[in-house]
Every structure is written in structure tokens, then in C-alpha cells.
Amino acid sequence: MKNFDVNAIRADFPILARQVNDKPLVYLDNGASSQKPQVVIDAITNAYSHEYSNVHRGLHYLSNVATEKYEAVRATIAKFLNAASEDDIILNSGTTEGINMVAYGWAMPRMAAGDEIVLSVMEHHANIVPWHFLRERQGVVLKWVETDAAGHLDPAKVAAAITDKTKLVAITHVSNVLGSKVDVKEITRLAHAQGVPVLVDGSQAAVHMPVDVRDIGCDFYAITGHKLYGPTGSGAIYVTRERMAEMRPFIGGGDMIREVTREAVSYNDPPMKFEAGTPGIVQTIGFGVALEYLMALGMGNIARHEEQLKTYAQSRLQGLNWLNVQGNTPDKAAIFSFTLDGAAHAHDISTVLDKKGIAVRAGHHCAQPLMAHLGVTATARASFGLYNTTQEVDKLIEALELCHELLG
Ligand code: PLP
């Protein structure tokens, strides 16, 4: 594959060379957070060592350098998401902040008791709890759309849940538990046809495939830096001009104002209007470097590599008839959640795998409504990233066979 030599790429990630429990690390917890390439680590070190200052405040050299580097990331994110302009990008600490900003700044002032928000049953708590706030505080009704048994979400079912009370559809692009890809472009088309804006939680999607927010046509698209091979505490939300103009600022403080007097306040132009206080300067600079790294590899190449891993993992997992893999829609990312026949708890699976140096996550994955829908309390989850290999799939299978022997 052009531009894609997985072994060379692995060498970019220093942590992948380490051992865990005397075994080479097999990192399959990318859905929770991914590892960082050396260029990102270097960018963080360089920023703190040589180029650190607060941003937007300075009339001095370092502040200007930091501001330039920080502000340049807005354009990098716009390019990564194919947004029309860097002004459509609000910088933040991650998806959780982005969705809360929409809930407080856009939805709260526009919604009254009885108004409805349509969600899928596959949402992460970050795309549920902010809407529950609106339910608790102002009587907004949450309407849930279920997936089929394979974990596929039918856009027509989402459209059918929309009524004249619906004010927003808030939906994930890729499930963090099942890996199911959601046709958010079709959902947006159907929702817009009924005059309803759409928020897409892109946390798990932007990592695995090219994303084009203008092609999707959605109103809001949230991403998080630490899953995109960047630092924690970085992220962004794409918001269309129209929605940004409707949105009230969510957090007040420095930087987001034009003028403050004893009597009144006026605000900075968007998107700065929505970015109060000292931001995650170095994290955001690192995030920009991570996105440049991904774009140099090519998101299409990453998607093709992960597609191969997924197909191989699916074929190997199918051979384990004592393993219950949740969600098998044909259109899914390389994310696998499973339980084991017998009494073993998902945590026991991850403990056995950990002894073999394999990192997976076990629990409810911040998706309790989905767990209830699946009829389980927890699953173990192996989530692949751009640096994983088919040999690592083999190691996972071998370790799962050991789990079956010990726990099944
Ligand atoms: N949405 C999805 C689908 C996720 O997987 C996650 C993180 O696991 C989030 C939202 C929250 O992201 P963050 O914790 O980075 O804000």
C-alpha cells in the first residue's frame, strides 16, 4: 500500500517497543485512547522547552510564536475535516466539552418542555448525559432509536422517530462498542428534510476513516485529540455558520470578550466567542502535529490498512465458537466487543490478556443503554489502530484460547 509500511509506522511510536508483563506490548485499547508518535511527543517537548507562553495576550516574541502555532491548528483541523473555513472550528478539550457546549449554548435556550432529541441506543455517555441534563432541567424528551441485532442503525428508523417536536438528532458516526459505522450523511439528509439539525459524535470515526463534514452536511461534528494520536485535553467541534450564529457562549471568561464594563459585556467574533480562558495551548499544538502526521499517512490508507485488519480479525474470531462477538454489521470499524461463554466476567478476560501483554478494555465502555439493549453488563473490547498488525490479531486469538481454557 502506497505510503503505508506498518513496521516503519510502528517505529514512530516509542511505546510500542516496550514490554508489558515481560511480553511485547500489544496495544488494542485504541478506542479508549491511542498512543502518540514521536513527532507529537517532540512537539510537546519543544513547545514547553523553547516556545511556551500564553496565547492571544502578548506583545512579546514568545507569545506571538505560541499564538501563531496554536492558531494554525484551527486551519489544520478544518483541512482534516474538510470544513470550508477555520472559522467553523471551535477548539476545546475534547468531544465531551464539545457536546456539552452545544447542549448548554445551542440546545438549552432553544428547547422547552416536551421538545424532543433523537438519539441512538449506541451513544457514548458523552452524547447522552448532556441531553439528560436538558431532560432533568427543562423537560426535554429523549427518544431512542434501536439498532438491529447486528448493530446496524437504519437511517429510516432515525427519520421515523422525528416529529414536529424534534429539535435535534444527536448520533454517533461509529459506535465505540460495536464498531458499527452509521450513515450520518443519510441521517442528516432525512433530518434536514424535516428541518431538524444534526450533531455527529465523530470521536471514533475520525480515527478510522476520512471524514468530510461538508459532504455529510451535519450541523455539528465533534472530535477528540487523544484518540487521534494527539495529546489528552485537546479536541474540536465543527459548527456550521448558521448554528454558530444561533449559539450562546457556554463558558465565560478571558479571551472570548470584546469589551467588559461594570454594566455589560460584548463578545469576540466566533469561534473565539466560544473559547474562554487559557486554552490547552501545548495540547492543541500537539493535536495539530498528530493530524498532520495522519494526513501525511493518508486517512484513506489508514482506513484500508484497518479494513484488512478487521477482515482478518473477523475471520479468526469467527473460529472461536465459545466467544460471543457483539455486533457484526458488514460496515464496521476494527472494534470488537465480546463476552465468553460460561461465568467469566469481562474483567477476567482482560486480566488474562494483560498477562500476555495485550491491552484491551473491559466494562460498559460508557455506553450503559447499549449494554442494556444487548442484555450484558460488560464486554471486553479490542479496538485496533493504525499501527496494529495481523500478527497482533494472532496473539489476541491465542490469548483468547487461553482465556477459554482457564475461564470458560
Ligand atoms: N464519544 C465516543 C463515541 C467516545 O468513544 C468517547 C470516548 O471514549 C467520547 C465520546 C468522549 O470523548 P472524550 O472523553 O475524549 O471527551
What are the tens digits of pLDDT across the range 241-251?
999 999 999 99
Characterise 12 by phi-psi region: left (phi > 0), alpha (psi -120 to 50), beta (else).
alpha
Question: Rounded to 5 degrees, what are φ and ψ at 247?
Answer: -85, 140
**Percent of the chain scored above 90 by pLDDT?**
96
| pLDDT of 141 above 60 | yes
pLDDT bucket at 175, cuts 50 / 70 / 90: very high
Lowest mean pLDDT among 46-60, 108-122, 139-153, 388-402: 46-60
| pLDDT of 393 above 90 | yes
In the predicted model, what is the mean pLDDT of residues 26-33? 98
In the predicted model, what is the mean pLDDT of residues 196-206? 98
pLDDT of residue 408: 75
Single out the catalytic residue among 77, 184, 196, 366: 366
pTM of the predicted structure, to 2 decimals: 0.98
In the predicted model, what is the mean pLDDT of residues 335-358? 91
In this structure, the residue with its CA closest to atom 5 of ligand 1 is 176
In the predicted model, what is the mean pLDDT of residues 13-34? 98
How many C-beta atoms surround the C-beta of residue 193 within 10 A? 10
pLDDT in tens, 45-86: 999 999 999 998 778 999 999 999 999 999 999 999 999 999
249 CB under 6 A from ligand 1?
no
CB 387 within 8 A of CB 320: no
- Cell triple for 133: 441534563
In this structure, the residue with its CA closest to atom 14 of ligand 1 is 96
Q: How far is the CA of 103 from the centre of ligand 1 (A)?
A: 16
Mean pLDDT of the chain: 96
For the chain, residues classed under CATH 3.90.1150.10 are 6-30+299-407
Residue range 6-30+299-407 forms a domain whose CATH class is alpha beta
Is 366 tagged catalytic? Answer: yes
| pLDDT of 4 above 90 | no
pLDDT bucket at 331, cuts 50 / 70 / 90: very high
Question: Helix (H, G, I), strand (E, B), or coil: what is residue 169?
Answer: strand
**Alpha carbon distance, N-terminus to C-terminus of the chain:** 39
| pLDDT of 1 above 60 | no
pLDDT bucket at 407, cuts 50 / 70 / 90: confident
Laid out side by side, the sheet with 220-224 consists of: 89-92, 235-239, 220-224, 198-201, 166-172, 116-120, 141-145
Q: How far is the CA of 214 from the centre of ligand 1 (A)?
A: 22
224 CA closest ligand 1 atom index: 15
34 CB under 6 A from ligand 1?
no
Q: How far is the CA of 382 from the centre of ligand 1 (A)?
A: 16
Residue whose entry in the numeric block shows the C-alpha cell 488474562: 352
94 CB under 6 A from ligand 1?
yes
For the chain, residues classed under CATH 3.40.640.10 are 43-296
pLDDT in tens, 266-304: 999 999 999 999 999 999 999 999 999 999 999 999 999
pLDDT bucket at 2, cuts 50 / 70 / 90: low
Bridge partners of 325? 338
pLDDT of residue 342: 72
pLDDT of residue 43: 98
224 CB under 6 A from ligand 1?
yes
pLDDT of residue 341: 80
pLDDT in tens, 202-223: 999 999 999 999 999 999 999 9
204 CB under 6 A from ligand 1?
yes
pLDDT of residue 344: 74
Q: Which fold has domain 43-296?
A: Aspartate Aminotransferase; domain 2 (3.40.640)
381 CB under 6 A from ligand 1?
no
pLDDT bucket at 321, cuts 50 / 70 / 90: very high
| pLDDT of 14 above 80 | yes
Q: How far is the CA of 363 from the centre of ligand 1 (A)?
A: 15
Residues 6+ apart with CB under 8 A from 252: 265, 276
Q: What is the 3-state secondary structure (H, E, C) of 303-354?
A: HHHHHHHHHHHHHHHHCCCCEEEECCCCCECCEEEEEECCCCCHHHHHHHHH
